[in-house]
Amino acid sequence: MITDILQKLSKEDQTKIVRTNEPDWTEPMLAYLEHNLFFDKNWFYERKFDGERCLAFIKGNEVRLRSRNNKPLNASYPEIQQALGSSINTPCILDGEVVAFKGNNTSFEKLQQRMQLRDKQEAMHTGIAVYYYIFDILYLDHYDITRLPLKTRKKILKAVVSFKGHIRYSAHRIHNCKQYYKYAHDHGWEGLMCKDPESPYVHVRSMSWLKFKCVANQELVIGGYTDPQRSRIGFGALLLGYYDKTGKLHYAGKVGTGFNDQVLISLSKKLKALEVTKSPFKSHDAIKETSVHWVKPELVAEIGFTEWTNDNKLRHPRFEGLRYDKAARDVRQEK
């Protein structure tokens, strides 16, 4: 039976909802990186979080948390699973971002200490608080609602979810968005998301969702590493790259900062297990490093940097952590 919430929709919107069984998985909607900043008085502007994308599938007493590439997250964030299970008794699918804070800003580096854990007790004992910022709802009480406009889905979301504790609402602005972007830039936020309020939820990358960054960072593939020098342990630097549309891996430079001893040791073990004899890069002629070890291009790293150089290399890169929620083959240059 259709819920009271959906019964209150307009006749036009009711034609857009489809009765169906709740799927076990659905691809998330993705945004395009945009540099031509614009401020439309009707579009929604939300804070861009530096965390891990998370879809929550709720059915009966079961809550399943999944990453954007459909990996289980329940063990990493058990308090979020528990909070959703105790506050929502209606079958639904939610979309949002799990974050950890360092001061007033979200910190991917801090969240790293939770992302890799697969034991609930160990995750809880890290002392790192995590929060689930929900920005969309895709399914409700036996109905697919993705064809409804975003503005309507947002209203439904607020009516369905009790936002308290670890569960938070990803608020948006419509007015004074130029000042909002300046505030984000001045306070070190990662950026803003800009969304068309009339857009349906589509399971691909869409120009209806745009991201404007205040800081330069992106995912890059690890294709090799160098030997450590002097008192350094583990490895010296990571050799990074990105794929083009033809599937070739382009060298983007190296990163040797942003590692503590624990990361150097744990990542070194992962790299040695992936070693190969041949370079995975399209051309390694430009790689002037010595004592290089090539690896299978499977690991994805989050890298902060100041800018791209004219020859498509990173300037002042720093390692922020590994990403387990994105396939290496999907990594493209965001320029």
Would you state the pLDDT for residue 131? 98
Q: Are residues 160 and 263 in the same domain?
A: no
Cα 121 from chain centre: 24
Q: Which residue has the tokens 């624990």?
A: 262
pLDDT above 90 covers a percentage of the chain that reads 73
Token pair, residue 96, equals 């949002």
Closest CA to 21 of 139, 110, 102: 139
> Each residue of 63-113: pLDDT tens digit?
999 999 999 999 999 999 999 999 998 999 999 999 999 988 899 889 988
Would you state the pLDDT for residue 282? 87
Q: Which residues contact 313 (CB under 8 A, 6 or more apart)?
A: 251, 252, 253
Q: Are residues 180 and 90 in the same domain?
A: yes
Q: C-alpha angle with apex 53: 101 to 210, nearest 5 degrees?
A: 100
Mean pLDDT for 215-241 is 92
Residue 298 DSSP one-character state: T
Among the candidates 213, 245, 279, a domain finishes at 213
Q: Binning pLDDT at 50, 70 and 90, where does residue 190 land?
A: confident
Q: What is the DSSP string of 193-222?
A: EEE-TT----SSEEEEEEEEESS-EEEEEE
Q: Are residues 281 and 170 in the same domain?
A: no
Mean pLDDT for 129-158 is 97
> Each residue of 135-147: pLDDT tens digit?
999 999 999 999 9
Closest CA to 184 of 14, 37, 16: 37
Domain limits for position 63? 28-213
Contact between 63 and 85 under an 8 Å Cβ cutoff? The reply is: yes
Q: Name the residue type at position 60.
A: G
Q: Is residue 54 part of a domain?
A: yes
Q: Are residues 123 and 207 in the same domain?
A: yes
pLDDT at 284 over 70: no
CATH of the domain at 295: 2.40.50.140
Of 126 and 335, the one with more pLDDT: 126
Instruction: Please tell me the distance from the alpha carbon of residue 103 to that of residue 110, in angstroms, as a whole number.
Output: 11
User: Reduced to 3 states, what is the DSSP secondary structure of residue 41?
Assistant: coil
Instruction: Please tell me the distance from the alpha carbon of residue 324 to that of residue 308, in angstroms, as a whole number.
Output: 24
Closest CA to 72 of 107, 31, 117: 117
Would you state the pLDDT for residue 285? 56
Q: Are residues 222 and 193 in the same domain?
A: no
Among the candidates 180, 213, 246, a domain finishes at 213
Q: Are residues 322 and 269 in the same domain?
A: yes
User: Reduced to 3 states, what is the DSSP secondary structure of residue 241?
Assistant: strand
Q: Binning pLDDT at 50, 70 and 90, where does residue 1 land?
A: very low
Q: Are residues 249 and 293 in the same domain?
A: yes
